[in-house]
Structure 1
Amino acid sequence: MFQPTEPILRPVTGAAPQQPAPAVSVVIPVFNEAANLRDLVARVHEALAARPGGFELICIDDGSRDGSERLLLELAAGRPWLKPVILARNYGQSTALQAGFERAAGRYIATLDGDLQNDPLDLPALLDRLDTDDSIDMISGWRQQRQDHALSRRLPSRLANRLISWATKVELHDYGCALKVYRREIIERIHLYGELHRFIPSLAKEAGARIVEVPVRHHARTRGQSKYGLDRSFRVILDLLLIVFVLRYRQRPLHAFGGLGLALATPGLAMLGYLVVLKLLGETIGQRPLLMAGTMLVLVGLQFVAVGLISEMLVRIYYEKGPRPQYHLRPPREPGGPGW
């Protein structure tokens, strides 16, 4: 897994002794959630403080503008298990999660939203099941009793869940629930970018994860503003096209582009062959629309095959050299310093 080379994100006043890795890492992306952070940190501590092996809470501030960064650093000053990660700007939820995954040291990794609609008190039961059942690699939460009363959120979500399940062949009732727990090795096999956080179960399945879905509690948002709108439904459809392509053809793009190219070029060649026969029989073919159609189909088909070959070369480079870092970090400001 990629190991970041940029500075530690929490203020360090001296050399600290090496601490054993915690049993659980909780990763939470944060964007303009200052009103919820104190309660969020307190509830995660309440849920996991008594758990054997200890835990760490990694909160990734994704370019917040409401003071979330400052509050996270204040809370971390007296809580060694709280580890803020401060991104230089707003990169989106997928990149924020990836930043947290790269710093998670636990044997188990849990995620939830920072708006307190997920209940941290559900974590112990999910972790216990993962700890006692070796046949499970990932547990995904299912908000059976959703407290989002707006039809504009519930109906698109239901349709999206069914569409994603059908397209990816990973049957889940609730892809949008952020409350999930994983074995570490599963997280190490996937890499998030763009907005692929919606499709983590599909990516995990491809990585060999055995997934179950468990009902969890869901609370209405009481503070702050929702970050989701109707435009999210349209983005889900576009992202779904990407994830289906990635899952099926990531390691063999020539099969996708080349297959489409051959499907276009074959009838084009048949048309041109037919016209060649007519030409040999003495007929004039220069003004026939079939000549233009056949030529265009062959040219477009060859272009798709060429794109497939180029994609194969890019895939080879990608796997041999590895991806470049997709985000940059900003060192935290010192308490009392400029801009605090």
Structure 2
Amino acid sequence: MPSQPQQTDVSIVIPVYNESENVGNLVRRVGEAMLPTGKRFELICIDDGSSDDSAQRLADLAKTNDWLKPLYLMRNYGQTAALQAGFEAAQGKLIVTLDGDLQNDPDDIPALLNMMAERPDVDMISGWRKDRKDKSISRKLPSKIANGLISWATGVELHDYGCALKVYRCEIIHEIKLYGELHRFIPALAAEVGAKIIEVPVRHHARTMGTSKYGIDRTFRVILDLVWIKFLFRFLHRPLHAFGGVGLTFFSPGMLILLWLAVQKFALGANIGGRPLLLVGFMLVLIGVLLVAMGVLGEILIRIYHEPEGRAQYRLRDGPRVLRPEKHDTTPEI
């Protein structure tokens, strides 16, 4: 009988968008870092609808590097969709991500893989660009604000959510589905499904070729995404608590206003028909009722989501987590 193909050890997933000047060096550097390790690996470069010749260059490189597996998206969907495409195509037991601009150092990958092998209790290693080589105003300041906001909102405290260099166990990453621009929140989403995360300082280089795709406007998009993440973590399975709580906050004062006006009308004979307070009371009560109704509809939708296809509200491990004494230095240098 023909032998079964061996499972891939490592899948390296890299979104690429208009990086024709970098993809050649990127593929070469990843090969130089991974081939000496002896691990079975694949490099999945996802061309996100580039308008330059990035896709063609990847196709040419794949002819001479059998471990390079390019994916070509029909149009520019964004980094989140590109990562999701890469995760779904990945066959490795460990999945590594990094950016395609070579600001992350591929030479750090073997050290992170060794660290993951030494820490069976860890599900994800997140890189930390401790000595970041970027402009202070347009890149470092927005990133620091965003990291603080995300850590506060999610409860998963990391110095550098935006560092693309990360290592995941495949069991964790296959539990996560990315939509919109949720690639920034992968550590928080991983923690939500039970992952243990450590953060490790990694090297960072200034961009030498191509142009950056990020700007200060990213901070404002992060704030909007945080609203969804906060709701996802706290109220996804109990939307009535979210909408109902706000609804009661409107409904209660509105009802008190209407009761007070009713006492004035029927007990004291006051004319309340032309008073603005009557309109305020009705509006507060109406808003409260509508919000509670939205919460009830949300509860119905959650049950529709889980019950027809038997989606579980919990996940089980194969066995107890391997415990490892924590060191005082929680961010070892590579």
Relative to the length of structure 1, the TM-score reads 0.87
1:258 maps to 244
Matched, 1:316 2:303: yes
Q: Given the superposition, is the C-alpha separation of residues 61 and 210 from structure 1 closer, same or farther in structure 2, using an over 3 Å criterion? A: same
Shift of 1:283: 2.5
Asked if the contact 2:145–2:219 (Cα under 8 Å) also holds between the matched residues in 1, the reply is no
Asked if the contact 1:23–1:52 (Cα under 8 Å) also holds between the matched residues in 2, the reply is no
The separation in 1 between residues aligned to 2:133 and 2:82, in whole angstroms, is 25
Give matches, 1:1-340, under 5 Å: 19-281=5-267, 282-320=269-307
The separation in 2 between residues aligned to 1:313 and 1:90, in whole angstroms, is 35
Over residues 108-149 of structure 1, what are the superposed CA-to-partner deviations in whole Å (9 max), with x where a residue is unaligned? Answer: 101000000000111111111111112211110000111103
Shift of 1:45: 1.1
1:334 maps to none
Which sections of structure 2, spanning at least 5 residues, go unmatched? 310-334
The separation in 2 between residues aligned to 1:314 and 1:42, in whole angstroms, is 49
Shift of 1:313: 2.9
The separation in 2 between residues aligned to 1:217 and 1:86, in whole angstroms, is 29
The separation in 1 between residues aligned to 2:46 and 2:181, in whole angstroms, is 16
The separation in 2 between residues aligned to 1:91 and 1:321, in whole angstroms, is 30
The separation in 2 between residues aligned to 1:201 and 1:216, in whole angstroms, is 17
Q: Given the superposition, is the C-alpha separation of residues 74 and 102 from structure 1 closer, same or farther in structure 2, using an over 3 Å criterion? A: same
Shift of 1:79: 1.7
Shift of 1:308: 1.8
The separation in 2 between residues aligned to 1:320 and 1:234, in whole angstroms, is 36
Which sections of structure 1, spanning at least 5 residues, go unmatched? 1-15, 323-340
Q: Given the superposition, is the C-alpha separation of residues 111 and 88 from structure 1 closer, same or farther in structure 2, using an over 3 Å criterion? A: same
Give the letter for the 2:205 counterpart. H
Q: Given the superposition, is the C-alpha separation of residues 38 and 240 from structure 1 closer, same or farther in structure 2, using an over 3 Å criterion? A: same
The separation in 1 between residues aligned to 2:81 and 2:308, in whole angstroms, is 20
Shift of 1:312: 2.6
Over residues 58-89 of structure 1, what are the superposed CA-to-partner deviations in whole Å (9 max), with x where a residue is unaligned? Answer: 11100001111111111111222111111100
Q: Percent identity?
A: 61
Q: Secondary structure at the match of 1:283?
A: coil
Shift of 1:310: 2.3
Shift of 1:284: 2.3
Q: Secondary structure at the match of 1:50?
A: helix
Over residues 260-309 of structure 1, what are the superposed CA-to-partner deviations in whole Å (9 max), with x where a residue is unaligned? Answer: 11111111111112222222203222122221111100101111112222
Give the letter for the 1:114 counterpart. G
Say which is worse superposed, 202-211 or 309-318, in terms of deviation.
309-318
Asked if the contact 2:16–2:48 (Cα under 8 Å) also holds between the matched residues in 1, the reply is yes
Give the letter for the 1:288 counterpart. R
The separation in 1 between residues aligned to 2:43 and 2:258, in whole angstroms, is 66
The alignment of Structure 1 onto Structure 2 pairs a total of residues equal to 307
The separation in 2 between residues aligned to 1:320 and 1:72, in whole angstroms, is 43
Q: Secondary structure at the match of 1:146?
A: coil
The separation in 2 between residues aligned to 1:320 and 1:116, in whole angstroms, is 45
Asked if the contact 2:10–2:40 (Cα under 8 Å) also holds between the matched residues in 1, the reply is yes
Q: Secondary structure at the match of 2:246?
A: helix
